[in-house]
Amino acid sequence: MEQKSKPSQEEAVLVQHAQRSKITTSRRSFLRRGLAVGGAGAIGTGLLAHGVPVFAEERSRDLTSGDIAILRFLSAAEILETDLWQQYNELGGIQDSEVPGGSGSPGYIAALQVLDGDMPQYIHDNTEDEFTHFTFINAYLVSKGADPVNLDKFRTLPSSKATGAQQIGRLTNLMQLSVDTSYWTKYRSRTQNPDFGDTFPPAIPGLLKGQFPAIPRNDGDLKGFKPGANPTIPKHLQAIANTAGFHFAFIEQGGTSLYPSLAQRVSNPEVLRILLSIGPTETAHFQTWQDKAGNAPALTDPTNGLVFPDLNASGSEDTQTNLIMPEPTIFLSRKFPPVSIIRPTQTEGAAMGAAKALTDDGLFIGQSKEFFAVLQQLAEAADAAHR
């Protein structure tokens, strides 16, 4: 959401921009003069007189409007990510000074721990990472005289009523998800690539055929849970935790593609550095979650018929659970040998693609028309950016 500022503030920002570009222009002409005087030696060492490093000056030059649009879309995406991860952390993570809010749901945590005993820690750490992503990008935008992103007015969706969740307005809905698990087969294929137009079957087809909760919606979703050394976890509750497990990887593989896709259209080297430094943390998250989702027990949810199949039963590499490192596949052209890569990384329409994927996921069910308009506006601006 564009942060609404009073006309006087907008004017101030415009004046700031104008002043900054003047400063930049004079700095550049100084650099050009310096280079002309300094000659090849100065270029070779990257230094001007007075010890001013040429390349550092170049790196700190102003951002293009495209750079700002890309950063603003990423900030919005990170705010949305933070909102959903916060909901997971309140019920299934660790609530502390780093990630405050909520008090945990013992039943949900026990079901998540069937996937891995460390799930609460990982959920906590992923949540904290997302918080730092948008906070950093917004602070960077402000430092360059650009508007940060603030979506607070869209925090209107209900919280889970389950014990342990805060009762506050949310940006995202984790209770009606249709999770696309085609990332599973996409990263295991050795012959196909989404950038070539290839499509991939979902590992858990049932998750695309309805709307399912990834957090307990209320205490009724925890019915039948008995704590203890060998807790009793009803199948419905385990299905909710399984859905979360696959959803974690869905979200993070999206970020894994989004950053390299947008990086190709960044102009400023420092902005490029930001994208190249944040993007791989999404990949680190994805890798972890993919491994954990592979431990989700096969079951059928008796309340809605959602099936989690045994992914190793077919013997196919396309669903094998421990193939969590990207299989090599085709890239750029079939004339090249297969290579292990992130996929997709096609840059055209990457921001709109990400917005659509999050929308199709059901995350924004209940959001206002204005919310979708703002998201689309941010995505379109980012996709219009070019070098």
Query: For the stretch 269-291, what's the b/e string if a residue is b when 16 or more beta carbons lie within 10 angstroms of its beta carbon?
Result: ebbbebbeebbebbbebbbbbbb
CB of 81 to Fe ion, least distance (A): 5
User: What residue spans of 188-315 are helical by DSSP H?
Assistant: 235-263, 269-293
Cα(344)–Cα(357) distance, integer angstroms: 13
Is 247 a binding residue for Fe ion by CB under 5 A? The answer is no
Q: Which is nearer to Fe ion, 78 or 116 (CB)?
A: 78
Which of 62, 130, 147, 383 lies at the binding interface for Fe ion (CB under 5 A)?
Answer: 130
Which of 282, 301, 318, 361 lies at the binding interface for Fe ion (CB under 5 A)?
Answer: 282
Is 144 a binding residue for Fe ion by CB under 5 A? The answer is no
CB of 183 to Fe ion, least distance (A): 13
Cα(232)–Cα(240) distance, integer angstroms: 15
Q: How many residues bind Fe ion (CB under 5 A)?
A: 7
Cβ of 373: how many Cβ atoms within 10 Å? 11
CB of 143 to Fe ion, least distance (A): 20
Is 254 a binding residue for Fe ion by CB under 5 A? The answer is no
Contacts of residue 39, defined as CB under 8 A and 6 or more positions apart, other chains included, come to none
Is 125 a binding residue for Fe ion by CB under 5 A? The answer is no
Of the candidate spans 139-147, 255-263, 316-324, 330-338, the one that interacts with Fe ion by CB under 5 A turns out to be: 255-263
Q: Which is nearer to Fe ion, 128 or 130 (CB)?
A: 130
Is 133 a binding residue for Fe ion by CB under 5 A? The answer is yes
CA end-to-end span of the chain, whole Å? 25
Is 255 a binding residue for Fe ion by CB under 5 A? The answer is yes
Here the tokens at position 19 are 């002043």
CB of 262 to Fe ion, least distance (A): 13
Check if the beta carbon of residue 277 is closer than 8 Å to that of residue 133: no
The residue ranges that bind Fe ion (CB under 5 A) are 78, 81, 130, 133, 252, 255, 282
